[in-house]
Amino acid sequence: MMLSVLCALFVAGSLATVHSYTVTIDNHYASSNCTEFTASITASAMNVAGVSLTSAGSGYLQIGPASFNIFFRFCTPALWTSRERTIQILGHGATYTHSYWSIGYKPEAYSYERAALAAGYPVLSYDLLGSGNSEQPSPTDVVQIPLNIQIAIAIVKHIRGGTLPGLNRSLGAFDKVIYVGHSMGSLVLNGVMASEPEPNEGNGQGLVDFAVLTGYAHLPIHTPTIAGGDIQIARDTLPARFAGLDEGYTVISNRSLFYGREGSYEQALLELDVATQDVVSVGDAFTLAVGVVDALNFRGHVLAINGEYDTGNCEGDRCSSLFEEITNYPVAASFEAYVIPNTGHSLNMHLSSVETYALIFDWLDRQGH
């Protein structure tokens, strides 16, 4: 499959109006082998104390060390390539699950998982704590960004060490880690980058070698609230799906906020998104700012991608603020930023999705991976 991409580009110090390239993906590799499993991940964190439905809380609350059940989906290409020792870890956004990366609608267009497999990468997606099939403990005290960051760090360490419970891999540990995040998943990834800056013995970098941040920026957080009408209690709004959940698990009342202008997406996909949306804890919602920090010592490679109409993560004309993100990664091995035209927040859900995928793979290819 031949994909041609046209988008705005910033490369460490210079802004070009347009960057165009073509990349070929061999769909032979899209035929894959996937396994799904739940693993117990041990982590601890200093969460925020006193979070409630109406209060962001204050002070600190020690959580753990404790074990949390996390759901994973691991897929490998039908045929191994030179990328057999490089893994892509995928982290989803709020009110999504691991299925964000393969929504179940026109996979040739809207499945990043499929595209990554077609490019020859093994892929590990997972449900954040409190989401999907992962454990759903207290949505106020436990399921917060600090703990989700520490769980992500533990997952990457397991991957690097070849010790992730339930992941049977004859080839052993992975040598290179590509971590792709979306929205809150990018925020968690940024927290990993900031929390684990020290070089690992042997590779000269931190836990993550290549960080792909989508739907994210270091901008002031608008915390969604029930009082403001941004979010609603999940068990009251969608009782058929969430009747058994604590009231601190919420859903987004207006999914169109995640989309660009009319004509930039398929209405059927928006309707599927509405029907399958998951939850976000008020603990995560009130602690989003914890992940909006500078990764001052991160030495890996950074790729930042936003949609032109991602209003929550963009400022200036055509999301020009994204090109300033380089200042948050001053010692990164490389930094590039792209703005995808006519696209909103949830990049995977737009007609431009295949161009976004090709852009990521071209960037990785230019880094030698």
Q: Three-state DSSP class for 33? A: strand
* pLDDT tens column, 124-145: 999 999 999 999 999 999 999 9
Instruction: Return the residue matching tokens 């057999």.
Output: 84
Query: Does pLDDT of 20 surpass 70?
Result: no
Query: Does pLDDT of 177 surpass 70?
Result: yes
The runs of H, that is alpha helices, within the chain are 107-110, 112-118, 145-161, 184-195, 234-237, 239-242, 267-276, 282-286, 353-366
How many angstroms separate the Cα of 332 from the Cα of each of 128, 152, 185, 245, 296? 26, 20, 20, 41, 8
% of the chain at pLDDT higher than 70:
86
Domains of the chain with CATH codes: 2-366 (3.40.50.1820)
pTM of model > 0.85: yes
* pLDDT tens column, 238-294: 999 999 999 999 999 889 889 999 999 999 999 999 999 999 999 999 999 999 999
Backbone angles phi, psi at 231, to 5 degrees: -130, 160
Q: What is the pLDDT of residue 104?
A: 93
Query: Does pLDDT of 27 surpass 80?
Result: no
Per the prediction, the chain carries an average pLDDT of: 89
Query: Does pLDDT of 233 surpass 80?
Result: yes
Torsion angle, alpha carbons of 334, 76, 174, 102, to 10: 50
Backbone angles phi, psi at 257, to 5 degrees: -60, -25
Cα–Cα dist 242/91, whole Å: 22
Q: What is the pLDDT of residue 199?
A: 53
Instruction: Return the residue matching tokens 């009319």.
Output: 262
Backbone angles phi, psi at 107, to 5 degrees: -60, -25
Query: Does pLDDT of 98 surpass 70?
Result: yes
Cα–Cα dist 99/199, whole Å: 32
Q: What is the pLDDT of residue 227?
A: 61
Instruction: Write the single-letter amino acid at 223.
Output: T
Nearest to 298 by CA among 326, 327, 335, 329: 329
Copy the structure tokens of residue 168.
Answer: 């049977």
Q: What is the pLDDT of residue 172?
A: 74
Query: How many Cα atoms sit within 13 Å of 133 on the Cβ side?
Result: 12
Q: What is the pLDDT of residue 204?
A: 54
Predicted confidence band of residue 196 (pLDDT cuts 50, 70, 90): low
Upstream peptide bond of 137 is cis (omega within 30 degrees of 0):
no
Q: What is the pLDDT of residue 23?
A: 41
Average pLDDT over residues 162-191: 91
Q: What is the pLDDT of residue 163?
A: 92
Sign, CA torsion 358/104/314/148: negative
